[in-house]
Structure 1
Amino acid sequence: MPDTAMLQRLRETLGEAGVLTDPERLAPYLVDHRDLVRGKAPAVLRPSSVAQVQAIMRLAAEYRVGIVPQAGNTSYCAGATPDASGGQFVLSLERLDKVRAVDPLDAAISVDSGVILQRAQEAAAAAGLYLPLSLGSEGSCRIGGVIGTNAGGLSVLRYGMTRDLVLGLEVVLADGTLVSDMKKLRKNNTGYDIRQNFIGAEGTLGVVTGAVLKLIPVPHRRATAWVELTAGAPLPEMLALVRRESSDLVSSFEFITARSLALVSGADGRLKSGSGGVILVELSSSSQHLPIEELLEGVMGEVVEAGWAEDVIIAQTEAQRADMWRIRETIPEGEKHFGGSVKHDISVPLGRTVDFLAAGGAAVAAYDPALELSVYGHVGDGNLHYNVLVPPGEDRLAFTDRIGRELAPALYDIAIGMGGTFSAEHGVGRLKRGLLQHYADPGRYRVLRGIKGLFDPHGVMNPGAMVDPAEGLIAD
């Protein structure tokens, strides 16, 4: 447990509002987003300035106490949850919530790491620009967590992952050192690209306190189609055709199975699944002159001609488009209402998506033919959310544990064998740490541990996330 002297020094530094110790107020910070992991902490620290974050880290280094950075607490892998020892502090970013500046000419936005993603989107829109990062949790996730997990989302196909949108970062290291690289430059070859170490590091190397993000012109025009697939439709070939014939204006290419669709309540009755599921495809453009609606109609005509679609519905109004996207974005909520699901964040090369669907389905059927799958995801970038629904009447946590031990390894083996991975956009956190140890190339894993040892030699940054503390750290 942390020394009481440290707690007193923290109160002196942060003030009473910056140190929460009341059990009721602590509770929401100590459980992960999926309610799979519950930890303990002597306090939640709520700094309101970068200087206060530096002071916290200096004290953590002095007392050798673990600090768990937490942004919106929407991690799917318990990457922002302290362990059960009661010896780790949670460092909440929620009070670091200022939009520092929006620069229309440089097309960039500078924000504190505690800014909610939706608020950053709104600030960009007010300046006539667009932050092309869209997540189901955008109303609650914060920029620091988005950067820490290198979040993906609905538009990766067009705009890339979070790391593709980060121009500059401000980070406090484990010893309190401030690394400030808040530049808006697209070109900057002045040594190692230090910022990339912290993107996707899940708070294990430092605390991100600020970021400069890339903006783009607002896509004023969108054309959206609901494609009812034929059985066995070749998704990679369809995507290639749509990208080619639309001059690569595709911003989203989302796959939904019939079972996933059935989980969504209040869906438009016209929006049905084909025998092979559904593709939700969207083209977008900032130009008022490009006839993307006609372009989409022409492309969808080719898809039907190729025999890949049983029917295609093109949204005629913004309300129709919104309903299509509401269905896609509320599938996780539908799974929750059903009783929950065991989530597998699979990624395979684009050309192997159909192969994985077949092999994964066979593996699940061989394990237990009564199990139901909810499969959907960003197949435009190879990411499938391959989720096993919790059977009615079964305990969710016990079922999750059993599937994690008995079925998930087979699914991951299939994905890895196809050149894929067990975590496409959810990160590693605490829940997938063992998978990283098991599947990572030994040389790559040695480098990963070496980087951890270099930035955090005493293991105070989010101990237990990503790298097992019991392994020790290397910095040679």
Structure 2
Amino acid sequence: MSQSVHVRAFRDLVGDGGVIDDPERMAVYVTDQRQLSTGSTFAVLKPTTTKQVADIVRLAAHHGIGIVPQGGNTSYCGGATPDASGRQIVVSLERMDRIREVDPVSMSISVDAGTILKNAQDAAAAAGLLLPLSLGAEGSCRIGGNIGTNAGGLSVLRYGMTRDLLLGIEAVLADGTVISDMRKLRKNNTGYDVKQCFVGSEGTLGIVTGAVLRLAPLPTRRATAWLKLARGAPLADLLALIRRESADLLTAFEFMAARSIALATEAMTDPSTLRAGPEGAVLVEFASSSRHLDLDELMEAVLAEPIEAGWIEDALLAQSGSQRTAMWRLRETIPEGEKRRNGSVKHDISVPLSSIQRFLDLAGAQVRSYDGDLELSVYGHVGDGNLHYNVLVPAGVDRIEFTKRIESSLSLQLYDTAAALGGTFSAEHGVGRFKKHLLERYGDLGRIAAMRRIKTAFDPADIMNAGAIVCPLGEKSTR
């Protein structure tokens, strides 16, 4: 059958509004978020129901057509972008955006997989509850993609990754079978926890169409502080002290190097006056739903010890909502600051908390040895061991060519260092297509073999996002 015949068949399933086959309109769906790669497809399908998704998958499987599931297309690793063959279709979940239920008693929210994260957060907040998942792309990323990449973000320190919030799931397998397990249970010990197979799978095992997520009490009080780090300040020890003395009310511990802060400041129309200390700055936040806790008083008491120890050069406690917003706005503008500066080569490093400083020291030496003129933007959710260790693209240099050069040389040195310290090359961005070779290079052989077996069991014909993460058994691995 020709591609035009396939398009007509898919149109019969989802209607005219559910098919895009115009090249200009499809362009945004076939280019990855960082514009590092552009694939090809003959159709973008936009179903509105789980039944339509299942029908699409059955038809595609029958004709051997590859499928690339896509949420908000915000992947940093090319995990939602088709390859260049033109033999894969994109199945966009953006029209499946219904909030199915908010249950205040069970403290859960049930949603379509195409629901934008911010909309789910707002629905939870309207019921007096918190959806703890929070990240920079929350205005455009979608729940299915969050599950597919096991998204982290700003609150992992207290609430965990996406996998820790997932209670139930609905998904379509590669043969069109629908898994419907949208239960709100905290305890359900009835065999394999199948839903967790889809967490971090990036659409390679099936298409997530719905999810039940755990909610938390909505914080009504916050205490937020900007800490200017003194020279030699021990990040891990500072975190341990604050976490212990705050009775685990700590929700954020965000580290920012001075260069990252400067980049964000330069990108603002109303520049912040906040600055870094000799070792950078940390944004600390406590949160509570209790009316009986004075978090500002607690923050002052907790910070007294590290200030006395000489770890903190200066501490500014937000005195109003606008001051808190200004602190967070500076932190969240860093990626935009990098982009305006000609972009960066991103390294989503994760290392044990006890090795954070060791990694910073070793990696800094590696960068200086590689090219002393390179500039870094280093920031991240240090509270959970995640560092965004980004190499800035020099002015006047082609971003794509520079990225290729760094990723084939310096990046591998940095990843070697992270691996030697018990860390990994991807903390929260996933693997996708761009980092598949890194999984082959650094992954445990037994674990990769198990992943390939899982892929084969779920998708023996390799139609689900083929080319991402791992190959099924029978296909040659690059390792």
TM-score by length of 2: 0.97
Alpha-carbon displacement from aligned partner over 1:58-117 (angstroms, at most 9, x marks no partner): 011111111000000000001000001111000000010100000000000000000000
Indicate whether 1:35 and 2:35 are aligned. Answer: yes
CA shift at 1:4, angstroms?
A: 3.7
Q: Which residue of 2 aligns with 1:463?
A: 466
**C-alpha contact 1:268 1:323 (8 A) present in aligned 2:** no
| Whole-Å separation in 2 of the counterparts to 1:326 and 1:80 | 28
Q: More displaced, 258-267 or 363-372?
A: 258-267
1:68 counterpart SS class: strand
* Equivalent residues in 2 for 1:150-189, closer than 5 Å: 150-189=150-189
Q: Which residue of 2 aligns with 1:107?
A: 107
| Whole-Å separation in 2 of the counterparts to 1:309 and 1:2 | 67
Alpha-carbon displacement from aligned partner over 1:136-188 (angstroms, at most 9, x marks no partner): 00000000101100000000000000000000000000000000010000000
Indicate whether 1:292 and 2:295 are aligned. Answer: yes
CA shift at 1:2, angstroms?
A: 6.0
2:210 counterpart SS class: strand
Q: Which residue of 1 aligns with 2:228?
A: 228
| Whole-Å separation in 2 of the counterparts to 1:27 and 1:348 | 37
| 2:323 maps to amino acid | Q
Alpha-carbon displacement from aligned partner over 1:215-239 (angstroms, at most 9, x marks no partner): 0110110000100001221111001
Q: Which residue of 1 aligns with 2:149?
A: 149
CA shift at 1:48, angstroms?
A: 0.8
**C-alpha contact 1:2 1:42 (8 A) present in aligned 2:** no
| Whole-Å separation in 2 of the counterparts to 1:161 and 1:128 | 22
| Whole-Å separation in 2 of the counterparts to 1:469 and 1:396 | 33
CA shift at 1:473, angstroms?
A: 8.2
Q: Which residue of 2 aligns with 1:47?
A: 47
| Whole-Å separation in 2 of the counterparts to 1:332 and 1:295 | 31
CA shift at 1:472, angstroms?
A: 1.5
| 2:330 maps to amino acid | I
| Whole-Å separation in 2 of the counterparts to 1:188 and 1:450 | 25
| 1:245 maps to amino acid | E
| Whole-Å separation in 2 of the counterparts to 1:13 and 1:473 | 35
Q: Tell me which of 300, 305, 308 is aligned to 1:305.
A: 308
CA shift at 1:19, angstroms?
A: 1.0
Indicate whether 1:351 and 2:360 are aligned. Answer: no
1:252 counterpart SS class: strand
**C-alpha contact 1:452 1:473 (8 A) present in aligned 2:** no
| Whole-Å separation in 2 of the counterparts to 1:232 and 1:168 | 45
**C-alpha contact 1:168 1:183 (8 A) present in aligned 2:** yes
1:448 counterpart SS class: helix
| Whole-Å separation in 1 of the counterparts to 2:360 and 2:288 | 32
Alpha-carbon displacement from aligned partner over 1:307-339 (angstroms, at most 9, x marks no partner): 101100000000000000000011000000000
1:321 counterpart SS class: helix
| Whole-Å separation in 1 of the counterparts to 2:373 and 2:347 | 18
| 1:464 maps to amino acid | G
Indicate whether 1:325 and 2:323 are aligned. Answer: no
| Whole-Å separation in 2 of the counterparts to 1:269 and 1:5 | 57
Q: Which residue of 1 aligns with 2:192?
A: 192
2:408 counterpart SS class: helix
| Whole-Å separation in 2 of the counterparts to 1:269 and 1:196 | 42
**C-alpha contact 2:254 2:381 (8 A) present in aligned 1:** yes
User: What RMSD over aligned residues (CA atoms) do the two structures have, in Å?
Assistant: 1.3
| 2:210 maps to amino acid | G
| Whole-Å separation in 2 of the counterparts to 1:284 and 1:294 | 13
| Whole-Å separation in 2 of the counterparts to 1:451 and 1:276 | 44
| Whole-Å separation in 2 of the counterparts to 1:358 and 1:453 | 42
Indicate whether 1:248 and 2:248 are aligned. Answer: yes
Q: Which runs of 5+ in 2 are unaligned?
A: none
Q: Which runs of 5+ in 1 are unaligned?
A: none
Q: Which residue of 2 aligns with 1:393?
A: 396
Indicate whether 1:435 and 2:438 are aligned. Answer: yes
2:438 counterpart SS class: helix
Q: Which residue of 1 aligns with 2:6?
A: 6
**C-alpha contact 1:415 1:422 (8 A) present in aligned 2:** yes
Q: Which residue of 1 aligns with 2:126?
A: 126
CA shift at 1:470, angstroms?
A: 9.6
1:420 counterpart SS class: coil
Identity %: 62
1:387 counterpart SS class: strand
1:110 counterpart SS class: strand
TM-score by length of 1: 0.98
**C-alpha contact 2:452 2:473 (8 A) present in aligned 1:** no
**C-alpha contact 2:57 2:174 (8 A) present in aligned 1:** yes
| Whole-Å separation in 1 of the counterparts to 2:472 and 2:2 | 18
| Whole-Å separation in 1 of the counterparts to 2:20 and 2:463 | 20
How many residues align structurally? 474
| Whole-Å separation in 2 of the counterparts to 1:471 and 1:138 | 38
Q: Which residue of 2 aligns with 1:87?
A: 87
2:283 counterpart SS class: strand
